Structure 1
Amino acid sequence: MFGTFRSPNAVYFGAGQRAMLGRVVASFGNRALICTDERLAGDPVFRAMVEDVEAAGVHVAVFGRTIADLPLGCIDEAVAEARAARPDSIVAIGGGSCLDLAKATALVYTHGGRPQDYYGEFKVPGAVLPVIAVPTTSGTGSEVTPVAVLSDPDKTLKVGISDPRLIPAVAICDPELTLTCPPSLTAVAGADALTHGIESFTAIRRDEGANLPLERVFVGKNIISDHHALEAIRLISGALEGAVADGSRLDLRARLMYGAMLAGHAFANAGNAAAHALQYPVGALTHTAHGIGVAALMPYVMRYNLPACRDDYARIAAAMGVPPEDDTAAMAEAGIGAVASLFAAVGIPRTLAELGFEEEKIDWAAEQAMTAARLVHNNPVPLGVEDMKAILRAAHHGDPALLS
């Protein structure tokens, strides 16, 4: 039995929990920078949260210019705002880009240099300014993860900074904040979260050396991540379609947010794999949302990994409510089918061609995907360039049989 669990110092979950934000922020000092985006900055609920923090005796500066996919210039602007505000903590209120911005800003504000200095794993030299993460979507799980993903104009693909010191100090997860998410965003974010659960649950299982968690941010499949991943799969698969159809149902919103947070915990420790590696070049070429790309790819990646994952896929099927079969192989097939059917039901394209991905780009995308070493090496079945091409070809044509 082997497990690794890295997490915020505190996670507060539940409807209305945003009301504690002021007291939480005040516990870190009397100055705070709040990172959000332009839309949320003008929202009455956001303004009420800022007023709550101010009422707790905290001087607040708001950076409301977060840009999706987090370009380097956005981080530079936020760091400049932090240097002017001299905060004791940084509060992130918003989706994944807002949360990642707060992490990257805390890092550069604390240790100096540029974000580029910290690309990769275990490059953060020490503790960073505390981050309080308040997600408003149920998708990335960034409120509990050690990762900040950003866009560098000198890089073709997105890049990441991965270090346990980037895990927020506190996460406040209030599903009421997701009630205004439109159906399309709910679907894409939920699909992203489900892929986190699936890829964490089926990640490679490594030798359980005593130093493994000190040598890798993402240690692979383990008993603790499995617990979180499987429960995330159960919750998200049971709530996603209903929440997309009727976003006013707080019970479904709560299950989605809790599932996304658990999936974040799972991949924060186990890590993701081939679907995420392949999405980076696909997303760069098609300019489509991360969640759409990983979800479109996931059934084909599952098909490729089937020989190594039959037992795991059977357990995924059971978690998704698939009627039991006596045969593990049949249940595994049903698990792949259940994932594909759920994604189709919430509007995720079945093929990469529907995303605008062109067949002649398969070779280039496969080669680029192989550069995401932490993801490639985390896959339960070894991956080479030709394997990546095969997955992309099957996903482009919508033909899993190409992987048989």
Structure 2
Amino acid sequence: MRTTNDLRLGLLRQPGHVAFGPGQRAQLPSLVRRLGTSVLICTDERMAGSEVFADIVKALRGNGLTVSVFSAVEPELPRDNLLGLIEEFGGTDLDVVIGIGGGSCLDFAKIGAILLTRGGDVRDLYGEFQVPGPGLPVITVPTTGGTGAEVTCISVIHDPDLGMKVGVASPYLEAHAAVVDPELTLTCPRGLTAATGADALSHLIESFTARAKNPGTDDIEQHLYVGKNVLTDVYARHGLALLNTSLERLAEDLSDLGARSDTMLGALSAGMAINTTGTAGAHAIQSPIGALTHTAHGFGVGALLPYVMRYNLPAREPEFAEVADVLGVADPGQSRASRARAGIERVDAILAALDVPPDLRELGLKPEQFDTVAEQALRARRLTANNPRELTKGSVLEILERGYHGDRGWWGE
């Protein structure tokens, strides 16, 4: 089934202030001073031990600000990690929360700011629009070019009791400001650079090909993800054009600041898009695969993307043909179907340049796990509902089968 944006709707949710560019971390003291005098920085142990972090703290304190640091943010954001934050800083007089780091650090700061203000258990906030009100103002400072978490209204948490990742999705999680400084990604190692780049690319493809839902006023008031629309498409096109060249340049030279900047702007564009469209099939299927194989999220969605794109192609041929135009591989003399396939193959090539695993076998997934993965993927309704072609247990199993064997034939042939 094909859905089109019949309303010509345009909708974005975004921070009130976004600073982008090399050196823009220098804006942090002035941004914090507008909000108060006491700031808590949430980050991980590696970032907290870096020279650039020490410089940021020094600049904040040099502007008369009181700075506290929580430096124990863990990858994949386990629920217990948030309990540690409340234990250490609950009841502390704070005005602002800064999240510095990768996606987990930013998600931690966003949901932590709510819990520090309103108390309670994060489990009560799982799902959409369950956050009852605003928390402390948050400033997000990403150090990787990929997740887009600096501008999104969601925090993804791993709940070990549920055995899966769950989302807290609410406009109240939107950052007050995002400071996006590509210089902070220069020390990002090759593997993490590739994984986050693949994640950003998957965000752009999934947002541009997402279901258009033609929401009414009540839908917009009750749901974060209201579908592909004319404004998210602007960001998706721009981000794809940037990543089309920047990711391969980074694969050749991690010190290329121009490529770092283009990648980070592409990732920011992707975050702006998915904040309204949501992600879709590749992300839904990756979550249980990641839990079983303990592989990086970006490599998981990157490994799945070629197969999910091929599954979705019958429902999104015009969009994939436009992807080919944006990526510079469309031959105007070809049919739309041929151009759409060329767009998908160009995405395949970018993923290959990043050394993303070409199949699910390389992630460590086993055939006897397919049934579990399919069942758990379909439980992620906030993601599967965005997929342009309906996902059933049978179709997910076929995606897994093709992905395991590296079968990149065209669906239905």
Q: TM-score, normalised by structure 2?
A: 0.96
Q: Is the 8 A contact 1:204 1:220 kept in 2?
A: yes
Residue identity opposite 1:52 in structure 2? A
Unaligned runs of 5+ in 1: none
Match of 2:253 among 242, 246, 254: 246
Match of 2:169 among 162, 186, 205: 162
Residue identity opposite 1:76 in structure 2? L
| Matched position secondary structure for 1:383 | coil
For residue 80 of structure 1, report the CA deviation from its aligned partner: 2.7
Q: Deviations over 1:206-226 (max 9, x none)?
A: 124233311210111100111
Distance in 2 of aligned mates of 1:223 and 1:174: 27
Q: Deviations over 1:17-40 (max 9, x none)?
A: 000111111111010100111011
**1:203-214 mapped onto 2 (5 Å cutoff):** 203-214=210-221
Residue identity opposite 2:283 in structure 1? H
Q: Deviations over 1:251-303 (max 9, x none)?
A: 11100001100100000011111000000111111100110111100110010
Q: Is the 8 A contact 2:330 2:342 kept in 1?
A: no
Q: Hey, what does 1:341 align to over in structure 2?
A: 349
Q: Hey, what does 2:137 align to over in structure 1?
A: 130
Match of 1:395 among 386, 400, 403: 403
| Matched position secondary structure for 1:132 | strand
Q: Hey, what does 1:120 align to over in structure 2?
A: 127
Residue identity opposite 1:313 in structure 2? F
For residue 84 of structure 1, report the CA deviation from its aligned partner: 5.2
For residue 325 of structure 1, report the CA deviation from its aligned partner: 3.4
**1:277 matches 2:266:** no
Q: Hey, what does 2:3 align to over in structure 1?
A: none
Q: Deviations over 1:167-217 (max 9, x none)?
A: 111000000111111111111101100100110000101124233311210
Distance in 2 of aligned mates of 1:8 and 1:79: 25
For residue 5 of structure 1, report the CA deviation from its aligned partner: 0.8
Distance in 1 of aligned mates of 2:219 and 2:326: 29
Distance in 2 of aligned mates of 1:347 and 1:113: 42
Residue identity opposite 1:128 in structure 2? G
Q: Is the 8 A contact 2:402 2:408 kept in 1?
A: yes
Distance in 2 of aligned mates of 1:46 and 1:52: 10
Q: TM-score, normalised by structure 1?
A: 0.98
| Matched position secondary structure for 1:151 | strand
Q: Hey, what does 1:107 align to over in structure 2?
A: 114
Unaligned runs of 5+ in 2: 1-7
Q: Hey, what does 1:361 align to over in structure 2?
A: 369
Distance in 2 of aligned mates of 1:176 and 1:322: 31
Q: Is the 8 A contact 2:91 2:116 kept in 1?
A: no
Match of 1:350 among 340, 352, 358: 358
Q: Which runs of 4+ in 1 moved over 4 A?
A: none
Distance in 2 of aligned mates of 1:99 and 1:392: 31
Q: Hey, what does 2:185 align to over in structure 1?
A: 178
Distance in 2 of aligned mates of 1:214 and 1:299: 34
For residue 364 of structure 1, report the CA deviation from its aligned partner: 1.2
Q: Deviations over 1:330-379 (max 9, x none)?
A: 11001111111111111001100000000111111111100000111111
Residue identity opposite 1:37 in structure 2? D
Q: Is the 8 A contact 2:144 2:264 kept in 1?
A: yes
Q: Hey, what does 2:149 align to over in structure 1?
A: 142
Distance in 2 of aligned mates of 1:211 and 1:234: 34
Distance in 1 of aligned mates of 2:237 and 2:53: 33
Distance in 2 of aligned mates of 1:156 and 1:278: 14
Aligned-pair identity in percent equals 47
Q: Is the 8 A contact 2:279 2:386 kept in 1?
A: yes
Match of 1:312 among 290, 305, 319: 319
Distance 1:212 1:246, change over 3 A: same
Distance 1:208 1:118, change over 3 A: closer
Residue identity opposite 1:127 in structure 2? P
Distance in 2 of aligned mates of 1:190 and 1:82: 34
**1:34 matches 2:41:** yes
Distance in 2 of aligned mates of 1:393 and 1:146: 33
Distance in 1 of aligned mates of 2:302 and 2:89: 36
Distance in 1 of aligned mates of 2:405 and 2:212: 31
Distance 1:353 1:285, change over 3 A: same
Distance 1:208 1:104, change over 3 A: closer
Q: Is the 8 A contact 2:321 2:330 kept in 1?
A: no
Q: Hey, what does 1:229 align to over in structure 2?
A: 236
For residue 113 of structure 1, report the CA deviation from its aligned partner: 0.6
Q: Is the 8 A contact 2:359 2:405 kept in 1?
A: yes
Residue identity opposite 2:380 in structure 1? A
Q: Is the 8 A contact 2:215 2:226 kept in 1?
A: no
**1:296 matches 2:298:** no
For residue 157 of structure 1, report the CA deviation from its aligned partner: 1.3
| Matched position secondary structure for 2:328 | coil
